[in-house]
Structures are given as structure tokens and as C-alpha cells.
Amino acid sequence: MATERPEGLSGQTGPYARFVRWMENLTETQFAYFLLTPALLLLGVVAFWPLLSTFRLSLFADNITGVGAVGEFVAFENYLAILSGERNALMPAPFLPETLTVGALFESALTVTLIFTVASVIFETLIGFGQALVLDQDFRGRRWVRVAIIIPWAIPIVVQGMIFYLFFAPDIGIFTGNSALSLQSLGLISGSPLQTPQDSALIVIVADIWKTTAFMALLILAGLQSVNRDLYDVAEVAGASPWQRFKLITLPVVLPTVLVAMLFRTIQAMRVYGIIEATNVGCNTLPSLSCLVVTSFFGGTRLVGTAATVAFLTAAIIGLVVTVYIVFYAREDVE
Amino acid sequence: MTDDRDSNGRQTDSNERQTESEATDQTSGTTDRTSETTDCTSETTDRAFRTDGMGAGTDAELKRGVLQRWIDSTISDPQKAYRAMFYVATLFFVVTTMFPFYWMLVVAVTEGSSYALVPSLTAVDVGSFREVFVRIEFARYMFNSLFLATVTTVLVLVLASLAGYVFGRLEFPGRRPLMLLILAISYFPPAAFFLPLFQLFTGNVFPWVELYNTPGALILPFSSLFMPLSIFILTTFYGQIPDGLEDAARVEGTTRLGALFRVIVPLSAPGVATAGVLTFIAVYNEFFFSFLMTDGGASDWAPIVGGLIQLQRAGQFEVTYSVMAAGSIIAVLPVTLLVVIAQEKIVSGLTSGALKE
């Protein structure tokens, strides 16, 4: 079929005509792979190679004083040293908390990341649900309310960080010092919230909720709009209260969407890095997992192997969380 | 009392409007709509009755407080409570999302460091918006950001169009595994790509590859990180074009690629626009690579991240909060404009992209 097509070109020579003729003569599979080549080439060099290379680096010892990036091959020793806490003395922050005090929880990468993720995803889901219910109504100005809700999602992380930096910067912040809205005079946050782990965690969580709730809201809204409206009419006739209508009609339909949205947000929240730097909290005050990768790599002691190991442990933990969601989702589906 | 009347008035108002529009619909003769209209009318009569009742009970009302009266009328009409809740919630969401921007504006136009929640108009000083261009090479940073976002978007759209065409319209062995492989990329955190790329771009892998502090060091990671979403959006859109249209073009003598770019892509323009808008916003907003893949100078091709962080970190020596706020406001303008113009695209792209995957 393809061979008879470019008759107009059959008489022509030259590189373009030859190229076209060559392309027309490819089978469908060949043509598919031909078109995929540029994308796969790019992904290969900038995504797959770095991933594999990071994994390879994680199997080598740190080379703190030598010339090369990493020392000798040590297999999974890095993973063991990091998980057992042996490496803590060298690392900018421990991976797992050393003790189970509140202070230690806010100083170790894994627990900081988990606290951030759980808190922000839960609040984003709840607030996002609220926003979606509002946007699901028909009212004048709906379009502009939606714009207002989406804008925070669309702004650069660095601006998001700047906003919350200006909120909480000493002396000038609206929530610090002698301001009318000061949380400090209420005793809720310490004197320098951006340098205190607990307070800065709170700030970063609120900043994340402010920015990304819109994502949650839009996904849940899509779920809400797939609910068959007739069901509400039937329920109303049958005398169901609005709460019953919500619980028995809306929720079951929307729940799978909510789970998918939560899964996406969780994957993103577990990689938190930008907002910590952009609020000027810094990775030393609040070491998330991504932070730990960067600070191990760029820190005073060059820990390339350790950094790579933390990067892969991060990916593995995200994988674990994804699996939990998928199991949960599958169970919901079966029911 | 004022409150009460207000919400009541608005209710009736909207109700009337609704009835009107429903009535017009009815004349067009849809049986479906007729039942709705009846519904609506009965509601209106309901409400009319209620208002009458309230008028009769003025004596009793006088003896009770505003709140009590409101609660009373709410009990007899739960709809009203929901409506009130709805307005409160809407107001709450709009205020909480918009207040930070308002506060930035206050910081930007206030001289000194004592901010009023509502600054007096005489004290407003917009000098910081000029100052930001003097303190740092702000114009260059903005150019860098827009340039990087545009080039990445174009690159992603071209490559993702080819891939989306393949996944959406061709059947070939290895289709599903390849799609899953590409999907897997968006699952890994940027930190898992970063170390080797940093070494590669700083010339530690091949001495002749030194992209650090050039646009390439940012465009390459951006494209590969944000391409999967575009591929999935375009796969959906391209897959929906009927085969007949492509066949017709092919019979006319177009080449295979010609059919893609002259038939499929134009017909899927909304999908291409969606993928483009989402990629542009994602790149413009990215932090991780933007922050780490350059030294942060304007001439290092650092995007706006570099400029704002530089202002923030210099704060120890010269505090320039108003300039930081002014810079942030200018940096937000392009994406805000994009959201206002293309909000439908963003909504559909986010939901289809996320839910299909």
C-alpha cells in the first residue's frame, strides 16, 4: 500500500525524495520505531542513562579525598551503612531518626519527608474536596473563582517560597514580630521560625498546601462531574438528606479519583526540595530526602556514593508508597 | 438584618434568571427540560410562600436577635443554610488563595519595613518595580526564563507529537511496554537523575561535553522530565482522530509525516495547545534543575530562580524586601496571564493527563 503512494516523487531523485521514498517503504513497526527514535534518544541520554548511572554510583564507596568521583565497588554496603545509621557521622543529616524524640524526627531526612507528605496530602485532599464542591456549583463568577484557585498552582516555586519567606521573615513578616496577625505573640511559633525545624516544617507544609491544593481540586472536580445528576433527583425524591446524598452517591463515585489524585500528590510531595530552599529555610534546617541527596553531593565532604544511594532509596520508598496506594485502589475497585 | 435581606434578594434574583432561561429552553421543546422547569417553578412558589410568611411574622421577629431569626428561617428552609455555607466557603477559598499575592503587593509598594494591611494611597511607592531591574539583571533573568520555557515547549511538542502519533495510531510490538517505560520516568524524583547529569554537564564524563551554565543544561533535563505528560495527552488526542481522515490525506498523495503534521496535528490543536501550556508552565515554575544546573548568574542562563534567590540571600547585608516582592510579582505575570487565557486547557489537560495514566 505504502509503496504505490508517492508516485509524484517516483521520477525525482535527490536526498529529500529518497528519504521520503525510504520512509514510505517502512513497515508499520519500522515506521513506529523510526518516529520514536528522537524521543527515545533524548529520554535515553537524559533520563534512563542517569537513572542507571545513579544506581551504579550507589554501589561504589565514597571517594572523599581521591581524584575520581567514587572509590571502589562495595555492592550494597552504602545502603546498609545509611539505613543502620553508621554513615550518620559523615552525612549532613541522618536518613533515619537516631532516637524517637520529636526533635530527632524533624532532623532526619526520611521522617521530615514523611511528615511533610502526610500532612500536606491530607490537608490538600480535604481542602481540595471543598474547593471542588464549590466549583461544581453553577454560579455567576464561577470562572473567576476557578482562576483564583488555579493561579497559586501555576506560579513558580521560587515565588511561592518568596511569599512565605516574606510572611515569616523576622521583623517584617506579617505573622512575626509585633504585627497584628503575629503568630509569635500568640506563642505559636518561635522567634526565628525559618531557622527552627518544627516551625519551618509547618511553614513549608502550609506553603505547599496553598500552592498545590488546586491540583487536587481540579482532579476531584473532574470526578464530581462524572456523577450522574439523575441520581441526585432520585435520592431527593426518596427523601435523602444532602449529607446522605453526598455519602451514598457522590463519595463512592469520586473515591477512585481522589485516590489517584492523592497518589500523584504523594509522589510529588516525597520529592520536596524547591520550597525548602526558596523559603530560605534551607536544607540544613529541614533536610528532606531530595535535600539530603544534594547536600551529600555538594557538601563539605564529597559523598557521591552516599548521595546516589539516598537518591535510590528515595525512589524505592516512593515505589513502596505507590504500591500501597495501588493495593488500596484495587481493593476499592473490587468492592 | 442587612445580611439576611441581602442573601435572600440574591437568591430570588438567581432563581428568576434560572426560570427565565429554562423557559426559553422549554419553548425549544425539549421534553427533558420541561420536567426541570416544573421543578424550578415549584421551588419559586415555595420561596414566595416563605417570604410571605416572614412578612407576617414581623412582630415576633422584632423580639429576637438577627442570628436567631436567621437560624429560624434556616430551619424552615435548609436550602438557605447550604447556600450560606456555599458563599462562606467560596469567599474563604478566594481570600486564602489571593491574600498572599495581595500581601506581596503591599510589601512591594511600601517603603521601609512597617507594613499596613491596607497601605494609605499617599504612602504607595512603586519605585521598587524599577529598582529590581537595577539591583539585578532582572530583564535578562526574565528573558532566560521565557526563552528556556519556549524552547523546551517547542522541543517537547515536536518529539511528543511523533511519539503520541505512534502510540495513539499505530499498532506495533512493544507498544505497551514502551509506554510504561516512558511513564516510569515521571515517577522518579529529579534527584535520581541529577548526579550523573551534573557530572556530564560539568565535563566530568566526556571533556567535550560541557553544558553547565548554558541553556542546554536546563533544556535537556526539562524536556525529558516533562515529555511523558505531553506524550500521554497527545496520544489520547491523536488516537481520537478518525482513520478515514488520515487515509484520505494519504490517498491525496501526502507522505506519512505530511499526514501527521498537516492533518492529525491541526485537527488535534486543542490537545497540542493543552500539552504546550502545561509544559510551558511546568518549565517556567521548575526549581530543582533551574537552581542546581547553573551558578545562578543572569549570564549563566539562570532563569528567574537565580535572580530571586540572589536577592533573597543578599538580604543579610542589604535588606530589600520590597524589591524581592516586586520581582516576584513581575515573575508571576506571564503565568497568571496564561492561566486566565487558557484555564480550560489547563483543567482538561491536568485531569485527562493524570486520570488516564
Which residues have a Cβ under 8 Å from the Cβ of B39 and sit 6 or more positions away?
Answer: none
What are the chain B neighbours of A280 within 8 Å (beta carbons)?
A: 312-313
Q: Do B103 and A145 touch (CB under 8 A)?
A: no
B71 assigned to some structural domain: no
Q: Do A145 and B339 touch (CB under 8 A)?
A: no
Looking at residue B152, its pLDDT comes to: 96
Q: At what angle do helices B127-135 and B78-109 cross, to 10 degrees?
A: 60
**Which residue, of B125, B141, B165, is where some domain finishes?**
B125
Q: Do B191 and A294 touch (CB under 8 A)?
A: yes
Which residues have a Cβ under 8 Å from the Cβ of A199 and sit 6 or more positions away?
Answer: A189, A190, A193
Q: What's the whole-number mean pLDDT along residues A68-83?
A: 85
Q: Do B312 and A174 touch (CB under 8 A)?
A: no
Q: Do B185 and A218 touch (CB under 8 A)?
A: no
pLDDT for A124 beyond 70: yes
Residues A267, B185: Cα–Cα separation, whole Å: 12
Q: Are residues B279 and B228 in the same domain?
A: yes
**Which residue, of B85, B100, B125, is where some domain finishes?**
B125
Higher pLDDT, A243 or B121: A243
The answer to whether B275 and B282 have CB atoms below 8 angstroms apart is no
Looking at residue A2, its pLDDT comes to: 44
Among B107, B159, B172, select the one facing A38 at the smallest CB separation: B159
Please state whether beta strands A70-73 and A60-62 pair in parallel, antiparallel, or not at all (unpaired): antiparallel
Q: Do A57 and B170 touch (CB under 8 A)?
A: no
Q: Do B192 and A156 touch (CB under 8 A)?
A: no
Q: Are residues B59 and B190 in the same domain?
A: no
Window from A160-169, A281-290, B30-39, B124-133 with minimum mean pLDDT: B30-39
What are the chain B neighbours of A264 within 8 Å (beta carbons)?
A: 354
Phi-psi bin for B316: left (phi > 0), alpha (psi -120 to 50), beta? Answer: alpha
**In chain A, which residue's Cα lies nearest the Cα of B343?**
A147
What's the Cα-to-Cα distance from B337 to each of A150, A294, B308, B332, rounded to whole Å?
12, 34, 20, 9
Q: Is B275 exposed, middle or buried (0-12, 13-18, 19+ CB in 10 A)?
A: buried
Q: What's the whole-number mean pLDDT along residues A158-172?
A: 88
Q: Is B256 exposed, middle or buried (0-12, 13-18, 19+ CB in 10 A)?
A: buried
Q: Do B113 and A47 touch (CB under 8 A)?
A: no
Higher pLDDT, A99 or A306: A306
Confidence band for A333, pLDDT divided at 50, 70 and 90: low
Higher pLDDT, B207 or A4: B207
B228 assigned to some structural domain: yes
Q: Are residues B118 and B29 in the same domain?
A: no
Q: Are residues B59 and B84 in the same domain?
A: no
pLDDT for A238 beyond 60: yes
For chain A, what percent of residues have pLDDT higher than 90?
Answer: 39
> Measured between CA atoms, how close is A119 to chain B, in angstroms?
18
Q: Are residues B169 and B208 in the same domain?
A: yes
For the stretch A45-63, pLDDT in tens is 999 999 999 999 999 988 8
User: What is Dmax (Cα atoms) for chain B?
Assistant: 91
Low-confidence ranges of chain B (pLDDT < 70): 1-64, 113, 315-319, 353-357
Q: What is the DSSP letter of A176?
A: S
> Measured between CA atoms, how close is A234 to chain B, in angstroms?
13
Residues B181, B279: Cα–Cα separation, whole Å: 20
What are the chain A neighbours of B225 within 8 Å (beta carbons)?
A: 47
B335 is written with which cell numbers?
Answer: 503565568
Q: How many domains, chain B?
A: 3
Q: Do A174 and B103 touch (CB under 8 A)?
A: yes
Q: Do B194 and A69 touch (CB under 8 A)?
A: no
Q: Are residues B221 and B111 in the same domain?
A: no
Q: Are residues B282 and B323 in the same domain?
A: yes
Looking at residue A180, its pLDDT comes to: 65
Q: At what angle do helices A28-43 and B175-185 cross, to 10 degrees?
A: 10
**Which of A26, A34, A37, A43 is most worth mutating to test chain B (most B CB atoms within 10 A of its CB)?**
A43
Q: Is A75 exposed, middle or buried (0-12, 13-18, 19+ CB in 10 A)?
A: exposed
Residues B29, B41: Cα–Cα separation, whole Å: 17
Q: Do B190 and A53 touch (CB under 8 A)?
A: no
Phi, psi angle pair for A301, to nearest 5°: -95, 125
Higher pLDDT, B58 or A179: A179
B70 assigned to some structural domain: no
B214 assigned to some structural domain: yes
What are the chain A neighbours of B342 within 8 Å (beta carbons)?
A: none
Q: Are residues B95 and B147 in the same domain?
A: no
B258 assigned to some structural domain: yes
Looking at residue B30, its pLDDT comes to: 40
Among A150, A155, A174, select the one facing B343 at the smallest CB separation: A150
Give Cα B25 to chain centroid, integer Å: 34
Residues B279, B342: Cα–Cα separation, whole Å: 13
Looking at residue A13, its pLDDT comes to: 73
Instruction: Give buried/exposed letters for B101-138 (b at 16+ CB in 10 A, else e).
Output: bebbbbbbbbeeeebeeebeeeeeeeebbebbbebbbb
**In chain B, which residue's Cα lies nearest the Cα of A68?**
B204
Q: Which domain holds residue B100?
A: 77-125
- Segment (H or E) for B150: helix B138-169
Q: Do B231 and A39 touch (CB under 8 A)?
A: yes
The angle subtended at Cα B148 by Cα B216 and Cα B260, nearest 5°, is 90
**Which of A10, A163, A213, A280 is most worth mutating to test chain B (most B CB atoms within 10 A of its CB)?**
A163
B72 assigned to some structural domain: no
Report all structural domains of chain A as residue ranges with CATH numbers, in order of start.
87-334 (1.10.3720.10)
For the stretch B164-189, pLDDT in tens is 999 998 888 989 999 989 988 888 99
Q: Are residues B98 and B36 in the same domain?
A: no
B19 assigned to some structural domain: yes
Among A145, A219, A290, select the one facing B351 at the smallest CB separation: A219
Looking at residue B33, its pLDDT comes to: 41
Looking at residue B91, its pLDDT comes to: 92
Candidates B222, B209, B239; CA nearest to B154 is: B222
- Segment (H or E) for B328: helix B321-356
Higher pLDDT, A36 or B20: A36
For the four alpha carbons of B148, B154, B157 and B163, in that order, the dihedral sign comes to: negative
Looking at residue B355, its pLDDT comes to: 65
Q: Are residues B260 and B160 in the same domain?
A: yes
**Which of A56, A147, A158, A254 is most worth mutating to test chain B (most B CB atoms within 10 A of its CB)?**
A158
Q: Are residues B138 and B164 in the same domain?
A: yes
The answer to whether A188 and A102 have CB atoms below 8 angstroms apart is no
Neighbours of A244 (CB within 10 A): 12
Q: Is A36 exposed, middle or buried (0-12, 13-18, 19+ CB in 10 A)?
A: buried
Looking at residue A235, its pLDDT comes to: 85
- Beta-bridged to residue A62, according to DSSP, are A70
**Which residue, of B90, B105, B125, is where some domain finishes?**
B125
Q: Are residues B332 and B255 in the same domain?
A: yes
CATH of the domain at B169: 1.10.3720.10
Q: Do B191 and A293 touch (CB under 8 A)?
A: yes
Confidence band for A268, pLDDT divided at 50, 70 and 90: very high
The angle subtended at Cα A140 by Cα A135 and Cα A146, nearest 5°, is 35
Residues B18, B230: Cα–Cα separation, whole Å: 40
What does B247-265 look like in DSSP terms, one character per residue? HHHHHTT--HHHHIIIIIH
